[in-house]
Homo-oligomer: A and B are copies of this chain.
């Protein structure tokens, strides 16, 4: 049974309640899921912005500067830092977090790191649940940050209303080296550490890749009539942040006007429901099979190389459904 006062305290914006709630969700506790169910009707007002990009481009510094700007405008902010990919980056991540310490004492800012994938359905689902909790707790801006843009990272920020790709010039990574498809992700591109001789070249390259990507489909189909802005920032000095705030507000307004916000959220929530359902199906299957002599026999055949894994999976499913 969940703490009956937790939901109420969360909805009142209590920081401890929020921290406790996210931990429950991160650890895949039933009380966590119950809590999300209880507060879910109070969600949907936060503007959720996802940030991705290679390590070292200054995403945390950028989010720190953005947080300061939002606070100056009187808005409350929640920050989720998600690191799905590598234990080796943890040191760097902790270092980066220091950029956010300016805000540690401000009750209007709530910062949380997540790395566990304990939650049902994985880190992506846990991150969405945590974002919902921040939303329910009255955070007006929710910033979700991931390291890298592998599929795991994309799944996480895919739940955001607006997606920002952060790059830096002269990092040795040419734009052409980015995998196909990466440029279809962002609504806004930021070149941070833009005080660099190669910035102009980089902007041109990005523009080129973006227009190439649009060649084979009409822009309207991709993201309405939105033209992805390429902004230049020096987040450590606070430069370009006003422009970024303006671009985020413009994008938020744009998708609301075009009815895209509703559609995006519908698609994201659909994926979320399917991901949770799939995770539960797998769990149920594993439980059913634990002591199942027929599954043991199938596995024996696989181990003895008489039956390949895919065919064994098919036989398993055929049996389940008959």
Complex CA distance for A220 and B32, rounded to whole angstroms: 37
Q: Which of B88, B151, B303 contacts A84 (CB 8 A)?
A: B151
| A265 contacts B303, C-beta separation under 8 Å | yes
Stretch of A61-69, A71-79, A234-242, A266-274 lying at the B interface: A266-274
Nearest residue, chain B, Cβ from A284? B317
Q: Which of A33, A150, A299, A316 has the most CB of B within 10 A?
A: A150
Complex CA distance for A303 and B181, rounded to whole angstroms: 28
Q: What is the distance, in angstroms, from A299's C-beta to the closest C-beta of chain B?
A: 6
Given contacts A285-B278, A299-B266, contact A309 B273 (CB under 8 A): yes
For A85, what are the chain B residues with a Cβ–Cβ distance below 8 Å?
A: 85-86, 148, 150, 152
| B37 contacts A277, C-beta separation under 8 Å | no
Is the CB of A247 closer than 8 A to any CB of chain B? no
For A274, what are the chain B residues with a Cβ–Cβ distance below 8 Å?
A: 282, 285-286, 289, 313
The 4 closest A-B pairs by CB, nearest first: A87-B179, A40-B308, A91-B177, A276-B313
Given contacts A85-B152, A91-B174, A278-B281, 19 further A-B contacts (CB under 8 A): A37-B308, A40-B307, A53-B88, A54-B86, A84-B150, A85-B150, A86-B149, A86-B153, A87-B150, A91-B173, A151-B152, A265-B303, A269-B299, A273-B298, A273-B313, A273-B316, A274-B286, A278-B282, A280-B314
